[in-house]
Amino acid sequence: MPDTRQQKTFCRICEAQCGLIVETRDNRVVDIKPNPDHVASKGYACIKGLKMGDFAHSPDRLQTPLKKVDGEFVPIPWDQAIAEIGAKLRQIHAQQGGQAIAAYMGNPIGFCMWPTAMLNMMLTAFGSNKLFTPGTQDCASKFAGGERLFGSPGAQVFPDIDNMRLLIAVGSNPVISKMSFITMPHPMERIEGIEQRGGKVYWVNPRRTESAKRLGEHVAIRPDTDVFFMLGFLHEVIRRDAVDHEHVRRYMNGYTTLAEVAKPWTPERVAQVTRIPAATLTAMVDDYLAADGAAIYSSTGVNQGSYGLMVYWLQEAINAITGNLDKRGGVLAGKGVLPSPPIPEETARSRIDDIPYVNNTIPAGIMADEILTPGEGRIRAMFNLSGNPLLTCAGSDRLATAFEDLELFVCLDIVRNETAEYADYILPGLHNLERADIPFYFFSVMGLMPTRSYSYTDPVLAPPGQCRDEGLVFRQLCRAAGVPLGGARPLQWFSNLCEWLDTVPFLRGRYSMDKLFFSLMSRVSKIGGLGKLRKHPDGILLEPNARRLPGQARADTIGQGGTCTRRPRGARADPR
């Protein structure tokens, strides 16, 4: 008889973390459906989540460790791989220090809590802070903005879509890509609700996107001129004195400088740069100020532009000074489930041009420079966790040269990709359906979710062949290299004990370190242990988001955040 099962889980391909129902037969996915009973996603899932079973059973799936020998990859046992990599790490660490060891973490695993936590613990064990991520390519502007405006890169706000009367979305196309920095299933249906309540939606984008074709009004803008649109909008708000001065006085500083920066940017001048008619801009300001709850919101199309940080800063300054920050129907501060990590006293900086880290990560655009540039802290060992930076980062040719220059290059993934061809070792990891998990950082820590909820999932599939949990691999490598996990010997001893207990037949699975970690995190959040969470496979609905500023210390909310104090690069007297 075939072993047929059905299990509720949640997707980890993007921020939305949608609930899924997975049907399996003999440890193979038969069907994946949206979970209509999930407390947050309520039957929503995109094609990526519904088709991820195909990738789990791909004929290209890695199932054994590989080592490059004379230019060819050959299978080797796990014990040999761990011992050899550990010995090389020990050598590099002893000779060149911890900053010679780095890692790149790709998006396919970046939405999973456990392996990302263990990767950071391994880097900490070596005294390294060199972690590259795709986030430095597509959303670093918002993390940098959160740090400068609200005191922490993880302190972010999101539009209260379900209650607002006006949304101005810049560089966003949720029909195709959902929405960034807001975990919102059913995005278009909920945006349609704005119009159904008598409100209005504007799409500011160089092209008439799929979202603009479905609803709202499209406002065409010249590519990469969003910062001037924001300056013109801000100019009009201040010129009309549509400013909540009491709100500004209590929670903000730098308003005088902000007004000075915006003063020259009349709608007529902005029109010359953006190609948005002055009358269109002033009409948008009219609608924004008249709405009982409004927000300007930007997404990836702006984040990756030349002025991403400036746009984010100006956008949230507009939301703030008009009283729409921390307002029902405006923008709300995220309230996480798990405690936020401590904020470093000083921002780390790269040895390359003194470039600052963003959200404790180093820009992927300088990865090749960090590897190839001689000097103290030059990267000699690199881990690539479920990423393909050779294709996703700029300068592929130079990056290929850099990978060849490394003394140790290890890729952990479920398939061999272009980047892995440059590796010394390729180690087979887990598919998302093969791991236990809780919602990831954006969801659990930053709280960027209109519907606050929490979930836990056990693995749906057993891993094939010799595929191994990446978190376990990092723990074993720390032991092999002679450095304690997270820099703490008791933690390494505990890791070793959990690993041993998991080999005892009648204890297997009960004391696995990942599940103990999830249980601890959930209990710290006062939600309960895994036993309780397993009784709620559709997730647990938490208290709704609420206003957070009144009655709280400024440092706990939007902080003593400043306003825009610099003119954007290229802002000339004659913008033509």
CATH of the domain at 47: 3.30.200.210
Cα–Cα distance between 279 and 285 in angstroms, integer? 10
Considering the chain, what is the average pLDDT of its residues?
91
- Please indicate, yes or no, if residue 553 is contained in any of the structural domains: no
Q: What is the pLDDT at residue 545?
A: 80
**Do 394 and 446 fall into the same domain?**
yes
Going by C-beta distance under 8 Å and a sequence separation of 6 or more, which residues neighbour residue 268? 278
Q: What is the pLDDT at residue 547?
A: 75
Which residue from 373, 368, 375, 379 is spatially nearest to 89, judged by alpha carbons? 379
Q: What is the pLDDT at residue 214?
A: 96
Cα–Cα distance between 100 and 104 in angstroms, integer? 14
Q: What is the pLDDT at residue 344?
A: 77
Q: Any bridge partners for residue 382, and if so which? A: 102, 409
Start-to-end Cα distance in the chain = 74
Q: What are the structure tokens assigned to 213, written together?
A: 């074709």
**Do 124 and 149 fall into the same domain?**
no
- Please indicate, yes or no, if residue 124 is contained in any of the structural domains: yes
Q: Is the pLDDT of residue 11 over 90?
A: yes
Q: Is the pLDDT of residue 84 over 90?
A: yes
Q: Is the pLDDT of residue 409 over 80?
A: yes
- CATH number for 424: 3.40.50.740
Q: What is the pLDDT at residue 69?
A: 97
**pLDDT digits over 297-321, tens only?**
999 889 888 999 999 999 999 999 9
Of 10-24, 101-115, 421-435, 551-565, the range with the highest mean pLDDT is 421-435
Q: Is the pLDDT of residue 341 over 50?
A: yes
Q: What is the pLDDT at residue 183?
A: 83
**Do 386 and 493 fall into the same domain?**
yes
**Do 521 and 497 fall into the same domain?**
yes
Q: Is the pLDDT of residue 550 over 50?
A: no
Of 12-26, 277-291, 387-401, the range with the highest mean pLDDT is 277-291
Q: Is the pLDDT of residue 521 over 80?
A: yes
**Do 256 and 157 fall into the same domain?**
yes
Region 443-465: mean pLDDT is: 92
Sign of the Cα pseudo-torsion (400, 402, 406, 410, in order): negative
Q: Is the pLDDT of residue 27 over 90?
A: yes
Q: What is the pLDDT at residue 449?
A: 87
Region 546-567: mean pLDDT is: 41
Q: In what order do the strands lie in the sheet with 217-220?
A: 217-220, 200-205, 166-170, 294-298
Sign of the Cα pseudo-torsion (358, 362, 365, 370, in order): positive
Q: What is the pLDDT at residue 204?
A: 98
Q: Any bridge partners for residue 204, and if so which? A: 170, 219
**Do 40 and 99 fall into the same domain?**
no
Q: Is the pLDDT of residue 481 over 60?
A: yes
Region 214-234: mean pLDDT is: 97
**11-15, 246-250, 571-575: least confidently modelled range:** 571-575
Altogether, the residues listed in the chain come to a count of 576
The predicted model scores a pTM of 0.90
Region 288-297: mean pLDDT is: 97
Q: In this predicted model, which residue has the larger pLDDT, 247 or 206? A: 206
- Please indicate, yes or no, if residue 444 is contained in any of the structural domains: yes
pLDDT tier at 549, thresholds 50, 70, 90: low
**165-174, 198-207, 493-502: least confidently modelled range:** 493-502
- Amino acid letter, 238: I
**Do 536 and 418 fall into the same domain?**
yes
Q: Is the pLDDT of residue 540 over 90?
A: yes
Residue 452, domain extent: 68-134+355-541
**Do 130 and 152 fall into the same domain?**
no
**pLDDT digits over 241-280, tens only?**
999 999 899 888 899 999 999 999 999 999 999 999 999 9
Q: What is the pLDDT at residue 575?
A: 31
**Do 309 and 359 fall into the same domain?**
no
Q: What is the pLDDT at residue 566?
A: 33
Cα–Cα distance between 191 and 527 in angstroms, integer? 31
Q: Is the pLDDT of residue 564 over 80?
A: no
Q: What is the pLDDT at residue 554?
A: 30
How many structural domains does the chain have?
A: 3
Region 520-536: mean pLDDT is: 92
pLDDT tier at 574, thresholds 50, 70, 90: very low
Q: Is 107 exposed, middle or buried (0-12, 13-18, 19+ CB in 10 A)?
A: middle
**Do 156 and 219 fall into the same domain?**
yes
pLDDT tier at 285, thresholds 50, 70, 90: very high
Which residue from 104, 167, 111, 98 is spatially nearest to 133, judged by alpha carbons? 104
- Please indicate, yes or no, if residue 565 is contained in any of the structural domains: no
- CATH number for 312: 3.40.228.10
**Do 51 and 74 fall into the same domain?**
no
**294-308, 312-326, 336-350: least confidently modelled range:** 336-350
**181-185, 356-360, 403-407: least confidently modelled range:** 181-185
- Please indicate, yes or no, if residue 350 is contained in any of the structural domains: no
- Please indicate, yes or no, if residue 485 is contained in any of the structural domains: yes
Cα–Cα distance between 325 and 295 in angstroms, integer? 8
Region 351-374: mean pLDDT is: 94
Q: In this predicted model, which residue has the larger pLDDT, 560 or 451? A: 451
**60-69, 173-182, 554-563: least confidently modelled range:** 554-563
- Please indicate, yes or no, if residue 29 is contained in any of the structural domains: yes
- Please indicate, yes or no, if residue 562 is contained in any of the structural domains: no
With a pLDDT cut of 90, the percent of the chain lying above it is 76
Region 204-232: mean pLDDT is: 97
**Do 145 and 122 fall into the same domain?**
no
